[in-house]
Amino acid sequence: MGAVRGQGVVVTGAGGGIGAALARGFAARGARVVVNDLDDARIGPLAREIGGTAVAGDASGIVDAARDALDGVIDVYCANAGLASPGDAFAEEEVWAAAWDVNVMAHVRAARALLPDWLERGGGRFVSTASAAGLLTMIGAAPYSVTKHGAVAFAEWLSLTYRHRGLKVHAICPQGVRTDMLTAAGSAGELVLAPSAIEPEAVADALFEAIDEDRFLVLPHPEVAGYYQSRAGDPDRWLGNMNQLQRTWEANGG
């Protein structure tokens, strides 16, 4: 609980959903919070509510402005902004590029801007809102699954490279969460995600538990640990089961 008191925290994509819940959670624990989203109208009221600062703009390029707003030091960076990007292998190049840009490269660009200061100070915390789709792969969502796997891999790489230099990394991998994104996930989301969907606040609670326990993987749906194990233990069986789900989805109209 005391781990983040007084710290300077940035949350991207905080205009609603999980990002807003993370921002409120950090503020309630005594952190000083910068909230980011593309549009000022989405974050201004939240910043006022939590006594934080709004920095509007693309999550790929806000580290300097956020650092200024936090008197020069960012302790925690939550790379949370994301794009749902449903679609299959035939999705337009632009869909693949947009998913790659927000779901992966925004994390890479932020880390590049944060690491020199963190390595010099011997500490920092990077929180990646990835997805269970980054561990398991989601039906009907190729660009999303591929880029979320990329987000998990980048978070793992950051952790294994810099943990001895004080960097803490957490990868949040929820299944369905009741936000605008779940609504936009369409019929595949309704079939796979909606039945076990949780509130954004439960995702924030799971992160704070992981911070207290100094744990990398944050699984707000605990059952994901078992799915992840069965995928690793018998990939073909797991793929067969996922294909059953695909066929059910197709039979329901896709």
Ligand X SMILES: NC(=O)c1ccc[n+]([C@@H]2O[C@H](COP(=O)([O-])OP(=O)(O)OC[C@H]3O[C@@H](n4cnc5c(N)ncnc54)[C@H](O)[C@@H]3O)[C@@H](O)[C@H]2O)c1
* Helices 106-121 and 142-162, packing angle to 10 deg: 10
**Binds ligand X (CB under 6 A): choice among 38, 119, 153, 217:** 38
Examine the residue annotation and report whether 228 is marked as an active-site residue of this protein: no
**Tokens 């233990």 label which residue?**
233
Q: How far is 114 from 236, CA to CA, in rounded Å?
A: 40
Q: Note whether 113 and 64 are within 8 A (CB).
A: yes
Shortest spacing between CB 55 and ligand X, in angstroms: 10
The CB density around residue 95, as the number of other CB atoms within 10 Å, is 17
215 is written with which tokens? Answer: 């744990």
- 129 scored as a contact of ligand X (CB under 6 A): yes
Tell me which residue of 151, 165, 164, 161 sits closest to 217, measured CA to CA. 151
Shortest spacing between CB 196 and ligand X, in angstroms: 10
Which stretch in 36-44, 70-78, 113-121, 227-235 sits in contact with ligand X by CB under 6 A? 36-44
Q: Which CB sits closer to ligand X, 183 or 237?
A: 183
Q: Which of residues 46-75 bind ligand X (CB under 6 A)?
A: 58-59
Q: Note whether 195 and 216 are within 8 A (CB).
A: no
Which stretch in 35-43, 64-72, 88-96, 112-120 sits in contact with ligand X by CB under 6 A? 35-43
Give me the phi and psi of 218, to 5 degrees please: -110, 110
Q: Which of residues 166-195 bind ligand X (CB under 6 A)?
A: 174, 176-177, 179-182, 193
- 127 scored as a contact of ligand X (CB under 6 A): no
| Interface residue list for ligand X (CB under 6 A) | 12-13, 15-19, 36-38, 42, 58-59, 80-83, 102, 129, 131, 174, 176-177, 179-182, 193
Catalytic residues: 144
